[in-house]
Structure 1
Protein backbone atom coordinates (compact mmCIF):
# COMPACT_ATOMS: atom_id res chain seq x y z
CA UNK A 1 0.00 0.00 0.00
CA UNK A 2 1.30 3.44 -0.87
CA UNK A 3 0.33 6.49 1.11
CA UNK A 4 0.55 9.87 -0.55
CA UNK A 5 0.45 13.44 0.68
CA UNK A 6 -3.16 14.55 0.97
CA UNK A 7 -4.52 11.09 1.75
CA UNK A 8 -6.13 10.27 5.11
CA UNK A 9 -3.65 9.02 7.70
CA UNK A 10 -4.33 5.36 8.55
CA UNK A 11 -5.75 5.18 12.07
CA UNK A 12 -4.14 2.98 14.70
CA UNK A 13 -4.14 2.14 18.39
CA UNK A 14 -0.73 1.18 19.80
CA UNK A 15 0.71 0.86 23.31
CA UNK A 16 3.34 3.37 24.43
CA UNK A 17 6.38 2.64 26.61
CA UNK A 18 4.15 2.65 29.71
CA UNK A 19 1.55 0.33 28.16
CA UNK A 20 -1.00 3.13 27.64
CA UNK A 21 -2.85 2.96 24.32
CA UNK A 22 -2.45 5.85 21.89
CA UNK A 23 -5.10 6.17 19.18
CA UNK A 24 -4.38 8.44 16.25
CA UNK A 25 -8.09 9.30 15.93
CA UNK A 26 -7.96 10.78 19.47
CA UNK A 27 -5.42 13.31 18.19
CA UNK A 28 -7.63 14.70 15.42
CA UNK A 29 -7.64 18.49 15.64
CA UNK A 30 -3.89 18.45 16.42
CA UNK A 31 -0.87 18.22 14.16
CA UNK A 32 1.01 14.96 14.62
CA UNK A 33 4.49 13.86 13.59
CA UNK A 34 4.93 10.10 13.38
CA UNK A 35 8.43 8.91 12.75
CA UNK A 36 9.07 5.24 12.07
CA UNK A 37 12.47 3.86 13.04
CA UNK A 38 13.96 0.35 12.85
CA UNK A 39 15.20 -0.48 16.38
CA UNK A 40 15.61 0.92 19.88
CA UNK A 41 19.08 1.80 21.10
CA UNK A 42 20.92 1.47 17.79
CA UNK A 43 23.18 4.27 16.58
CA UNK A 44 20.97 6.01 13.99
CA UNK A 45 17.74 5.46 15.92
CA UNK A 46 19.26 6.83 19.13
CA UNK A 47 20.56 9.92 17.33
CA UNK A 48 17.17 10.52 15.71
CA UNK A 49 15.30 10.12 19.01
CA UNK A 50 17.72 12.47 20.78
CA UNK A 51 17.39 15.05 17.97
CA UNK A 52 13.58 14.99 18.27
CA UNK A 53 13.93 15.17 22.08
CA UNK A 54 16.11 18.30 21.80
CA UNK A 55 13.32 19.94 19.77
CA UNK A 56 10.38 18.50 21.76
CA UNK A 57 9.56 21.87 23.38
CA UNK A 58 9.57 23.54 19.96
CA UNK A 59 7.13 20.93 18.63
CA UNK A 60 4.97 21.41 21.71
CA UNK A 61 4.92 25.20 21.17
CA UNK A 62 3.85 24.49 17.58
CA UNK A 63 0.99 22.40 19.03
CA UNK A 64 2.33 19.24 17.40
CA UNK A 65 2.39 15.78 18.98
CA UNK A 66 5.56 13.73 18.40
CA UNK A 67 5.30 9.94 18.15
CA UNK A 68 8.10 7.47 17.46
CA UNK A 69 7.06 4.01 16.20
CA UNK A 70 9.07 0.80 15.92
CA UNK A 71 8.38 -2.94 16.19
CA UNK A 72 10.13 -3.07 19.59
CA UNK A 73 8.12 -3.95 22.71
CA UNK A 74 6.83 -1.42 25.24
CA UNK A 75 9.43 -2.73 27.72
CA UNK A 76 12.21 -2.12 25.19
CA UNK A 77 10.87 1.39 24.54
CA UNK A 78 10.78 2.11 28.29
CA UNK A 79 14.45 1.06 28.67
CA UNK A 80 15.43 3.11 25.61
CA UNK A 81 13.48 6.17 26.81
CA UNK A 82 14.89 6.03 30.33
CA UNK A 83 18.49 5.32 29.25
CA UNK A 84 18.60 8.35 26.92
CA UNK A 85 16.09 10.59 28.77
CA UNK A 86 13.90 10.81 25.67
CA UNK A 87 10.98 13.24 25.52
CA UNK A 88 9.27 11.51 22.59
CA UNK A 89 6.35 9.16 23.13
CA UNK A 90 7.43 5.79 21.72
CA UNK A 91 4.82 3.34 20.41
CA UNK A 92 5.18 -0.42 20.03
CA UNK A 93 4.13 -1.72 16.62
CA UNK A 94 4.75 -5.36 17.51
CA UNK A 95 3.68 -7.29 14.43
CA UNK A 96 4.36 -4.21 12.22
CA UNK A 97 0.67 -3.74 11.35
CA UNK A 98 0.97 0.07 11.40
CA UNK A 99 4.29 0.06 9.52
CA UNK A 100 2.49 -2.02 6.87
CA UNK A 101 -0.40 0.46 6.72
CA UNK A 102 2.03 3.36 6.22
CA UNK A 103 4.06 1.46 3.62
CA UNK A 104 7.30 1.42 5.62
CA UNK A 105 7.57 -2.34 6.29
CA UNK A 106 9.85 -3.19 3.38
CA UNK A 107 12.43 -5.65 2.15
CA UNK A 108 15.90 -4.52 3.19
CA UNK A 109 19.34 -5.87 2.46
CA UNK A 110 22.47 -5.99 4.60
CA UNK A 111 25.69 -7.76 3.62
CA UNK A 112 23.79 -9.49 0.81
CA UNK A 113 21.14 -10.88 3.16
CA UNK A 114 17.54 -9.86 2.49
CA UNK A 115 15.07 -9.38 5.34
CA UNK A 116 11.94 -7.42 6.21
CA UNK A 117 12.22 -4.33 8.37
CA UNK A 118 11.20 -0.73 8.95
CA UNK A 119 12.30 1.89 6.46
CA UNK A 120 13.10 5.07 8.37
CA UNK A 121 10.29 7.48 7.41
CA UNK A 122 8.36 10.40 8.89
CA UNK A 123 4.78 11.54 8.34
CA UNK A 124 3.36 14.96 9.22
CA UNK A 125 -0.39 14.75 9.77
CA UNK A 126 -2.53 17.88 9.71
CA UNK A 127 -5.38 18.77 12.07
CA UNK A 128 -7.92 17.15 9.73
CA UNK A 129 -6.09 13.79 9.93
CA UNK A 130 -4.58 13.95 6.44
CA UNK A 131 -0.96 13.35 5.46
CA UNK A 132 0.53 16.81 4.91
CA UNK A 133 4.13 15.75 4.29
CA UNK A 134 6.14 12.53 3.92
CA UNK A 135 9.87 11.96 4.30
CA UNK A 136 11.00 8.52 3.10
CA UNK A 137 14.41 6.85 3.42
CA UNK A 138 15.31 9.45 6.02
CA UNK A 139 18.91 10.41 6.66
CA UNK A 140 19.11 11.24 10.38
CA UNK A 141 21.41 14.27 10.29
CA UNK A 142 19.30 17.45 10.22
CA UNK A 143 16.03 15.53 9.86
CA UNK A 144 14.33 16.63 13.10
CA UNK A 145 15.08 20.26 12.23
CA UNK A 146 13.63 19.82 8.72
CA UNK A 147 10.44 18.33 10.19
CA UNK A 148 10.12 21.21 12.68
CA UNK A 149 10.57 23.69 9.82
CA UNK A 150 7.72 21.99 7.90
CA UNK A 151 5.52 22.08 11.03
CA UNK A 152 6.17 25.79 11.46
CA UNK A 153 5.43 26.43 7.77
CA UNK A 154 1.99 24.83 8.21
CA UNK A 155 1.12 27.33 10.93
CA UNK A 156 1.01 30.26 8.57
Structure 2
Protein backbone atom coordinates (compact mmCIF):
# COMPACT_ATOMS: atom_id res chain seq x y z
CA UNK A 1 0.00 0.00 0.00
CA UNK A 2 1.39 3.31 -0.95
CA UNK A 3 1.12 6.52 1.03
CA UNK A 4 -0.84 8.29 -1.71
CA UNK A 5 -3.42 5.50 -1.76
CA UNK A 6 -3.87 5.77 2.03
CA UNK A 7 -4.23 9.55 1.86
CA UNK A 8 -6.82 9.32 -0.90
CA UNK A 9 -8.77 6.63 0.93
CA UNK A 10 -8.85 8.63 4.14
CA UNK A 11 -9.94 11.75 2.29
CA UNK A 12 -12.90 9.93 0.75
CA UNK A 13 -13.86 8.01 3.89
CA UNK A 14 -16.92 9.11 5.84
CA UNK A 15 -16.31 11.52 8.68
CA UNK A 16 -16.80 8.87 11.34
CA UNK A 17 -13.92 6.83 9.93
CA UNK A 18 -11.47 9.72 9.57
CA UNK A 19 -8.89 10.08 12.35
CA UNK A 20 -9.06 13.28 14.36
CA UNK A 21 -6.54 15.88 13.21
CA UNK A 22 -3.50 16.30 15.41
CA UNK A 23 -3.76 19.41 17.58
CA UNK A 24 -1.90 20.85 20.49
CA UNK A 25 -3.10 20.11 23.95
CA UNK A 26 -5.73 22.62 24.98
CA UNK A 27 -4.70 25.13 27.63
CA UNK A 28 -6.51 25.01 30.96
CA UNK A 29 -9.80 26.85 30.80
CA UNK A 30 -8.87 29.23 33.64
CA UNK A 31 -5.77 30.63 31.93
CA UNK A 32 -7.65 32.52 29.24
CA UNK A 33 -9.99 34.50 31.54
CA UNK A 34 -7.09 35.35 33.86
CA UNK A 35 -5.06 36.71 30.96
CA UNK A 36 -8.01 38.80 29.83
CA UNK A 37 -8.62 40.06 33.35
CA UNK A 38 -4.95 40.90 33.75
CA UNK A 39 -4.88 42.86 30.51
CA UNK A 40 -8.14 44.57 31.37
CA UNK A 41 -6.87 45.59 34.82
CA UNK A 42 -3.63 46.97 33.37
CA UNK A 43 -5.54 49.02 30.81
CA UNK A 44 -7.86 50.39 33.50
CA UNK A 45 -4.91 51.12 35.78
CA UNK A 46 -3.16 53.06 33.03
CA UNK A 47 -6.32 55.00 32.25
CA UNK A 48 -6.77 55.89 35.92
CA UNK A 49 -3.17 57.06 36.16
CA UNK A 50 -3.47 59.24 33.10
CA UNK A 51 -6.80 60.71 34.15
CA UNK A 52 -5.43 61.61 37.60
CA UNK A 53 -2.98 63.98 35.94
CA UNK A 54 -5.88 65.97 34.52
CA UNK A 55 -7.47 66.84 37.87
CA UNK A 56 -9.11 70.26 38.12
CA UNK A 57 -7.17 71.42 41.18
CA UNK A 58 -5.54 74.86 41.23
CA UNK A 59 -1.92 74.15 42.10
CA UNK A 60 -0.33 77.33 40.88
CA UNK A 61 -1.31 80.96 40.87
CA UNK A 62 -0.18 84.00 38.94
CA UNK A 63 2.14 85.22 41.72
CA UNK A 64 4.15 82.00 42.18
CA UNK A 65 7.34 83.78 41.09
CA UNK A 66 6.96 86.11 44.07
CA UNK A 67 7.38 83.27 46.57
CA UNK A 68 11.15 83.51 46.40
CA UNK A 69 11.96 82.96 42.75
CA UNK A 70 12.36 86.65 41.89
CA UNK A 71 13.52 89.87 43.47
CA UNK A 72 9.91 90.76 44.36
CA UNK A 73 8.38 88.97 47.36
CA UNK A 74 4.69 88.37 48.01
CA UNK A 75 4.59 88.99 51.76
CA UNK A 76 1.18 87.34 52.22
CA UNK A 77 2.13 84.00 50.63
CA UNK A 78 5.92 83.64 50.91
CA UNK A 79 7.34 81.33 53.57
CA UNK A 80 9.98 82.26 56.10
CA UNK A 81 12.85 80.76 54.09
CA UNK A 82 12.48 83.47 51.43
CA UNK A 83 13.74 86.04 53.92
CA UNK A 84 17.00 84.16 54.57
CA UNK A 85 18.33 85.78 51.38
CA UNK A 86 17.75 89.25 52.84
CA UNK A 87 20.44 90.16 55.41
CA UNK A 88 18.94 91.45 58.67
CA UNK A 89 15.48 90.02 58.02
CA UNK A 90 15.91 86.45 59.23
CA UNK A 91 14.89 85.17 61.78
CA UNK A 92 13.29 87.94 63.88
CA UNK A 93 11.70 90.31 61.36
CA UNK A 94 10.86 87.42 59.03
CA UNK A 95 9.19 85.50 61.86
CA UNK A 96 7.00 88.49 62.69
CA UNK A 97 6.13 89.02 59.01
CA UNK A 98 4.92 85.47 58.40
CA UNK A 99 3.24 85.12 61.80
CA UNK A 100 1.07 88.21 61.37
CA UNK A 101 0.19 87.85 57.67
CA UNK A 102 -1.96 88.67 55.71
CA UNK A 103 -1.58 92.38 55.10
CA UNK A 104 -3.38 94.80 52.79
CA UNK A 105 -0.38 97.13 52.44
CA UNK A 106 2.95 98.11 53.99
CA UNK A 107 1.32 100.39 56.59
CA UNK A 108 -0.75 97.53 57.93
CA UNK A 109 2.36 95.34 57.96
CA UNK A 110 4.21 97.78 60.25
CA UNK A 111 1.25 98.23 62.59
CA UNK A 112 0.57 94.47 62.96
CA UNK A 113 4.18 93.32 63.35
CA UNK A 114 5.42 95.83 65.95
CA UNK A 115 9.05 95.63 64.77
CA UNK A 116 11.92 96.78 66.96
CA UNK A 117 14.01 99.66 65.59
CA UNK A 118 16.60 97.29 64.10
CA UNK A 119 13.93 95.06 62.55
CA UNK A 120 12.06 98.06 61.19
CA UNK A 121 15.25 99.37 59.57
CA UNK A 122 15.87 95.98 57.91
CA UNK A 123 12.28 95.81 56.64
CA UNK A 124 12.44 99.41 55.32
CA UNK A 125 15.60 98.45 53.41
CA UNK A 126 13.65 95.82 51.41
CA UNK A 127 10.18 97.38 51.47
CA UNK A 128 10.31 98.30 47.77
CA UNK A 129 10.61 94.59 46.93
CA UNK A 130 7.43 93.60 48.81
CA UNK A 131 4.01 93.16 47.25
CA UNK A 132 0.76 92.20 48.97
CA UNK A 133 -1.26 89.73 46.87
CA UNK A 134 -4.41 87.89 47.96
CA UNK A 135 -3.46 85.14 50.47
CA UNK A 136 -3.80 81.57 49.19
CA UNK A 137 -4.54 78.88 51.82
CA UNK A 138 -2.24 76.35 50.13
CA UNK A 139 0.73 78.69 50.66
CA UNK A 140 -0.26 80.22 54.02
CA UNK A 141 -0.27 76.79 55.67
CA UNK A 142 3.48 76.51 55.01
CA UNK A 143 4.50 80.10 55.84
CA UNK A 144 6.28 79.29 59.10
CA UNK A 145 7.36 75.68 58.53
CA UNK A 146 7.49 74.38 54.99
CA UNK A 147 9.23 71.13 55.93
CA UNK A 148 12.60 72.01 54.41
CA UNK A 149 15.49 71.63 56.81
CA UNK A 150 19.21 72.13 56.40
Question: Shared fold (TM-score greater than 0.5)?
Answer: no
Higher helix share: 2
Whichever structure has more strand as a proportion of its residues is 1
TM-score normalised by structure 1 residue count: 0.26
TM-score, structure 2 as length reference: 0.27
